[in-house]
Amino acid sequence: LKFVCYSNDCVDEHMMCLVGLKNIFARQLPNMPKEYIVRLLMDRKHKSVMVLRRNLVVGGITYRPYHSQKFGEIAFCAITADEQVKGYGTRLMNHLKQHARDVDGLTHFLTYADNNAVGYFVKQGFTKEIYLEKDVWHGFIKDYDGGLLMECKIDPKLPYTD
Ligand code: ACO
């Protein structure tokens, strides 16, 4: 199992991974228009942390770091159907937290969680209460109905990965 973080930088290997992740999102997030998935995945302000097994992408999380605000917005998160409930989603989130803290300097994540994924996000330390001051994130993240806004504080010291 390998964890990587790539964005659209025209490196062939990275682009192949992003296309693989796009296909997983398209299938696992049927309510999201495909063009919207592609737009954010390929947007250079977004990054994708991915889990690879035998060099194939089996899942990932696409997020946008707002460096000045020290928070990241998770846009999409999914694991391919036949690899779900094996713990990959948890390990993926831990790699995301470590990367976001150590590379981007972030302290929090926000996301609009689909109703059926709220349980997963709660297990990853997300809360329905938003403790961040509204002026920190208001106007930065888009309002989106059909999802519940959730927050996660990244521990400043905890080693999230081994
Ligand atoms: N509801 C409640 N609990 C869940 C769910 C869920 N949908 N999915 C996983 N869990 C639980 C697991 O039972 C497990 O609990 P445990 O630690 O007590 O055993 C824990 O969360 C972690 O499970 P993992 O195996 O690490 O999770 P998995 O690899 O299956 O990944 C994910 C979870 C990403 C939600 C995956 O099931 C998936 O891709 N689902 C379909 C797409 C989806 O709903 N994505 C999120 C949409 S919201 C957004 O993208 C912002």
Q: Tell me the pLDDT tens digit for each residue of 17-74.
A: 999 999 999 999 999 999 999 999 999 999 999 999 999 999 999 999 999 999 999 9
Which of the listed residues 85, 92, 93 should we mutate to test ligand 1's pocket, taking the one with most ligand atoms within 8 A of CB? 85
Identify the CATH class of 2-153.
Answer: alpha beta
Interface confidence, given as ipTM, is: 0.92
11-25 pLDDT per residue, tens? 999 999 999 999 999
Q: Any idea where the domains of the chain sit in the sequence?
A: 2-153
User: 99: part of which helix (H) or strand (E)?
Assistant: helix 88-102
Rounded-to-integer distance, Cα 79 and Cα 69, Å:
28
pLDDT tier, 145 (very low <50, low <70, confident <90, very high otherwise):
confident
Q: Mean pLDDT for the chain? A: 96
Ligand 1 atom with least separation from CA of 88:
29
The percentage of the chain sitting over the pLDDT mark of 90, rounded to a whole number, equals 96
Catalytic residues: 73
CA of 90 relative to ligand 1 center, distance in Å: 8
Give the tokens for residue 74. 């998770």
DSSP single-letter state for residue 32? S
Q: What integer pLDDT is reported at residue 144 of this predicted model? A: 77
Which residue has the least CA distance to atom 1 on ligand 1?
Answer: 119
Residues making up the chain, counted from first to last: 162
**Contact indicator for 49, 4 with CB cutoff of 8 Å:** yes
- At 162 the three-state DSSP class reads coil
Query: Which residues sit with their C-beta closer than 6 Å to ligand 1?
Result: 28-29, 74, 76-79, 84-90, 111-114, 116-117, 119-120, 123
Interval 73-94 mean pLDDT: 98
Query: Residue 19: its pLDDT value, please?
Result: 98
